[in-house]
Amino acid sequence: MRIVIVEDRSEDRMLLKRIIEQHGHKVFEARDGRVALNLIREEKPDLVISDLLMPELDGFGLLRELHKSGHLQDVPFVVYSSIYTDNKERELAYSLGASKFLVKPLSPDDLWKNIEQVLPTLTQNKATPRLPVSEEEQLLREYSMVVASKLEAKVQELEETQKVLAAKERQYKCLFSSMDDVILLLNDKWQVLDANQPALRNQLGLELEDIVGHDLCSFFRDGMEYEDLHDKICKSGSLFEEGFEVQTHFVRKDKTVLICHISLSRFVNEQDEAIGVIAVIRDVTEKVESEAKLRQAQQEWEKTFDPIDDIVTLQGADMRINRINAAGLKMFQQDLKNIVGLNCYELFRETNEPCPDCPVTENLNDFVAHTFEVFHEKLQKTFLVSATPIFNESGGVTGIAHFAKDITERISLEKQLRQTQKLEAIGTLAGGIAHDFNNILSAIFGYTQLLQMELGPDPQMQSDVEQILKASNRAKDLVQQILTFSRSGEQKREPLRVQSIVEEALKLLRASIPSNIEIRQQLDEECPEIVGDATQIHQVIMNLCTNAYHAMMDREGVLSVHLSQKRMDCLDFPEWPEAKSGSYLELEVRDTGSGIESKHLVRIFEPYFTTKETGKGTGLGLSVVHGIVKSHGGHIYVYSEPGEGTLFRVYLPVCEKSADEKIDMNARQPVPHGHERILVVDDEEFLTKVQQRGLESLGYAVTAFTSSVDALDAFRSKPEGYDLIITDMTMPGLNGLELAKQILMVRKDMPVIMCSGFSDLINDKRLKEAGIRFFMMKPMDREVLGRKVREVLDLEK
């Protein structure tokens, strides 16, 4: 179907066209009645939809012309108007031959429904009924009256519109003049047409007459800047369609140069055609200079504080962080944008409020620098925080300079140092106790052996004395353990049976382990010997078992100790590239305790690492165990899971030759005798007496002194009256070394045996410097002393 649309408003015409075309009909457009009349004559449409009020020829006139034309008077005509809406207009339209009278606006659906009511008359080829018109003159009078009334209304409407436009223009001019930014209206040749005078004068120092009619380029500092700007705009037309912004230099009337931000947009007509440019100019000189100063300050900040390892922040009086150096970004692994604006306690403590005794809070209260330690839970680090107030010219606090030093390692080292000093003090104390205890043991050994010699054949008495000697040997071993702990004992490696050491250690532990913990042991008696230090192996077993029962202190549990022989390949020890294939003793210590977390498991053999409460562990136990096992050529492994208990496996290489094959010549031969003259010196009287009696029982002539000074006087008075000197190391007056030096100055060939209960007091270098070739460690029994004396005297011969 062919439909003609007559409408002077282009937007209404386009809307009607779209609605009709959506229903599959062809549309012809006309902007007034005169054009429409010619179009109808040419195209002979099936339907006409027309507005009424239009230039040239209105809708009524078009209806009248069609009515007068014989062959066009039957074309259906729909009136669609927003101006002529009274009943008179309706009657006139219908009397002129209109098929339908519709009042704007209608929705697209309602509009089309009304048009569809006209369409059946087309398909039936029926003419639209018209009201009869009695006379042509009457119709013209009615038409003239309607048009006149509507024109009068239109004139009034236009006058009102003109008043509104005038008011809006005044508002626009007021708004335009009040703008701080300079607004220029340019034609298509970039010549100034208009501008807001107040801003033009304030910002650029120009009057309107200075700029109107002039090319914009004449106000740039450099003509090249304008050319560059013009080229950019031309080359980026799509950007200019949406607006274009640039920063450039502008010359004021007084020839001073401003840095200006210029925003450009198109100035268009009703057809959306560009007829000029709107330029908004803002003086950003101070802003640019401030930004430059800020950049310079930022660079100076970075140069000053980024090389510092400590965390440096600048905070406002509200405790919010404004700046942070590179060390802070690295420590917290955050971007600057994620940190700036945070409160310092949010960053350093991850809390919602300042910490107690916060140095920043104290700064704000008393305006004095403060220092405080802060622990960061997530980082597991301790910071030494120093905060200093920043004052303005009037003395008010404007911010805080905040310095945070990571002292985690320092605290750890200080803790280790305190622990080391404590252990050194314990070691020194242990050494002193060991020295005195060895003196006591020497007396016990000596007098017991003398008693054993004088006893008759009574088996019970002999058995009692043997028990005293066994207890004394056990005490001797305990002293040796104390000396080993204090790093004063000598390491003595020899073939030994580990199963005997395990049994002895478990006997000692049973007395101290709570009854709620069951001890299970499974020891293979066929296990071969290892070469090692019995005291150190004993320490390994005691340490592992002690840790095991500590893990079960608050519950019932089982401590299992297994010992067996294993043939191991070097591939069985992937963590130990130096491991060798061969036979090993496998010592297992297992508990059913709380287990160990994986994060602690990887550090369990580190020195000073402990998970026990402060004061309940040195952190040295397992590190010492690890060191002992390694020094014996062995390996140690740990397996544990929280709640599943812990298992330690220790592998020690077995001895190639059994100790049973050794021939102990000393055990098979009697203690040798002699008749030489011996000078014994010790400040402990009971020791001089027991040594004197023991040596005299072997045939020697013994002179004993408890004073080193008296002994030296006696020797000087008769230097040829002695064949051997036996002296203690620690004595008042002259110590053993000083006494030996004085004796050797009198008689340099005199053999001297130096004795001590604490080996840290003496070493090979000091003995050699003093000219002493022989040393004995207390306690000494009669047999050991007798063999050593005989050995020394025979060497001198």
Q: Which residue has 């905070």 as its token pair? A: 315
Minimal CA–CA distance to 313: which of 389, 404, 243? 404
pLDDT for res 545: 92
- Other beta carbons within 10 angstroms of residue 467's beta carbon come to 11
The more confidently predicted of residues 477 and 326 is 326
Looking at the predicted structure, is the pLDDT value of residue 141 above 60? no
Confidence tier at 666 by pLDDT (50, 70, 90)? very low
- Tell me the C-alpha distance between 27 and 47, whole Å: 10
The 10s digit of each residue's pLDDT in 564-581 is 998 887 767 766 666 778
Q: What distance lies between CA 478 and its chain's CA centroid?
A: 49
- Tell me the C-alpha distance between 700 and 673, whole Å: 8
- 563 contacts: CB under 8 Å, gap ≥ 6: 498, 499, 502, 522, 523, 524, 527, 585, 586, 587, 588
Q: Which domains are seen in the chain, by residue range?
A: 2-154 (3.40.50.2300), 179-286 (3.30.450.20), 308-406 (3.30.450.20), 408-457+670-797 (3.40.50.2300), 491-661 (3.30.565.10)
Yes or no: say if 509 and 544 are a contact pair by the CB < 8 Å rule: no
- 783 contacts: CB under 8 Å, gap ≥ 6: 449, 666, 671
Minimal CA–CA distance to 529: which of 565, 498, 493, 491? 498
Mean of pLDDT values over 374-396: 83
Mean of pLDDT values over 742-768: 84
Yes or no: say if 763 and 775 are a contact pair by the CB < 8 Å rule: no
- Tell me the C-alpha distance between 276 and 264, whole Å: 10
Retrieve residue 437's tokens: 């205890």
Q: Which of 3-7, 123-127, 158-162, 724-728 has the lowest mean pLDDT?
A: 123-127
pLDDT for res 520: 93
- 244 contacts: CB under 8 Å, gap ≥ 6: 232, 233, 236, 263, 264, 265
* Residue count (the chain): 797
pLDDT for res 239: 41
Looking at the predicted structure, is the pLDDT value of residue 490 above 70? no
- Cβ-based burial of 607 (10 A; exposed 0-12, middle 13-18, buried ≥19): middle
Packing angle of the helix pair 59-68, 87-95 (nearest 10 deg):
20
Q: Supply the Cα-derived Rg of the chain in whole angstroms.
A: 57
Give me the half-sphere count of Cα atoms (radius 13 Å) on the Cβ side of residue 482: 22
| Collapsed DSSP state (helix, strand, coil) of residue 750 | coil
179 residue type, one letter:
M
Looking at the predicted structure, is the pLDDT value of residue 147 above 70? no
- Tell me the C-alpha distance between 540 and 650, whole Å: 9
Retrieve residue 33's tokens: 């009645």
- Tell me the C-alpha distance between 686 and 684, whole Å: 6
High-pLDDT (> 70) share of the chain, %: 85
| Cis previous bond, 105, omega within 30 | yes
Mean of pLDDT values over 107-134: 68
pLDDT for res 712: 95
Minimal CA–CA distance to 789: which of 679, 658, 662? 679
Yes or no: say if 524 and 565 are a contact pair by the CB < 8 Å rule: yes
Retrieve residue 599's tokens: 């994060």
pLDDT for res 353: 81
Q: Terminus-to-terminus CA distance in the chain, angstroms?
A: 148
- Other beta carbons within 10 angstroms of residue 555's beta carbon come to 12
Region class of 25: left (phi > 0), else alpha (psi between -120 and 50), else beta: beta
Dihedral of the alpha carbons of 463, 464, 469, 471, in degrees to the nearest 10: 120
Q: Which of 405-414, 543-552, 688-697 has the lowest mean pLDDT?
A: 405-414
β pairing state of 517-523 and 370-376: unpaired
Yes or no: say if 175 and 183 are a contact pair by the CB < 8 Å rule: no
pLDDT for res 564: 94
Minimal CA–CA distance to 726: which of 747, 705, 746? 705
- Tell me the C-alpha distance between 295 and 275, whole Å: 42
- Other beta carbons within 10 angstroms of residue 19's beta carbon come to 20
The more confidently predicted of residues 222 and 616 is 222
267 residue type, one letter:
F
The 10s digit of each residue's pLDDT in 231-287 is 655 554 444 555 677 787 888 888 888 888 888 888 777 777 778 888 888 888 888
Dihedral of the alpha carbons of 736, 739, 745, 749, in degrees to the nearest 10: -50
pLDDT for res 791: 92
Confidence tier at 140 by pLDDT (50, 70, 90)? low
DSSP 670: P
Minimal CA–CA distance to 194: which of 274, 251, 276, 268? 276
Looking at the predicted structure, is the pLDDT value of residue 742 above 90? yes
Confidence tier at 358 by pLDDT (50, 70, 90)? confident
Compute φ and ψ for 571, nearest 5 degrees: -70, -15
- Tell me the C-alpha distance between 294 and 290, whole Å: 6
Yes or no: say if 49 and 138 are a contact pair by the CB < 8 Å rule: no
| Collapsed DSSP state (helix, strand, coil) of residue 726 | strand
Confidence tier at 74 by pLDDT (50, 70, 90)? confident
Retrieve residue 639's tokens: 């397996």
| Collapsed DSSP state (helix, strand, coil) of residue 118 | helix
Positions of E strands within 15-64: 26-30, 47-50
Yes or no: say if 200 and 211 are a contact pair by the CB < 8 Å rule: yes
Yes or no: say if 403 and 314 are a contact pair by the CB < 8 Å rule: no
Compute φ and ψ for 312, nearest 5 degrees: -120, 130
Region class of 272: left (phi > 0), else alpha (psi between -120 and 50), else beta: left
- Tell me the C-alpha distance between 95 and 89, whole Å: 10
- Tell me the C-alpha distance between 610 and 234, whole Å: 75
- Other beta carbons within 10 angstroms of residue 209's beta carbon come to 9
pLDDT for res 746: 94
| Collapsed DSSP state (helix, strand, coil) of residue 615 | coil
Q: Which of 50-59, 217-226, 291-300 has the lowest mean pLDDT?
A: 217-226
Segment of 274-288, 459-473, 582-596 carrying the highest mean pLDDT: 582-596
Confidence tier at 121 by pLDDT (50, 70, 90)? low
Q: What share of the chain is helix, strand, coil (3-state, %, to 5)?
A: 45, 25, 30
Minimal CA–CA distance to 260: which of 175, 182, 187, 189? 182
Yes or no: say if 783 and 671 are a contact pair by the CB < 8 Å rule: yes
pLDDT for res 127: 45
- 759 contacts: CB under 8 Å, gap ≥ 6: 483, 488, 489, 490, 777
pLDDT for res 386: 85
Helices (runs of H) and strands (runs of E) counted in the chain:
27, 27
The 10s digit of each residue's pLDDT in 274-325 is 788 888 888 888 889 888 888 888 888 788 888 888 888 888 888 888 888 8
Positions of E strands within 26-67: 26-30, 47-50
Yes or no: say if 509 and 519 are a contact pair by the CB < 8 Å rule: yes
β pairing state of 257-268 and 274-283: antiparallel
| Collapsed DSSP state (helix, strand, coil) of residue 489 | coil
Looking at the predicted structure, is the pLDDT value of residue 128 above 60? no
High-pLDDT (> 90) share of the chain, %: 19
DSSP 528: P
782 residue type, one letter:
R
pLDDT for res 681: 96
pLDDT for res 653: 92
Q: Which residues of 565-575 are buried (b: 16+ CB within 10 A; e: fewer)?
A: eeebeeeebee
The 10s digit of each residue's pLDDT in 422-455 is 766 766 777 777 778 888 888 888 888 888 888 8
- Other beta carbons within 10 angstroms of residue 671's beta carbon come to 17
pTM over 0.85: no
The 10s digit of each residue's pLDDT in 518-565 is 999 999 999 999 998 887 888 899 889 988 888 887 788 999 999 999
Mean pLDDT score of the chain:
81
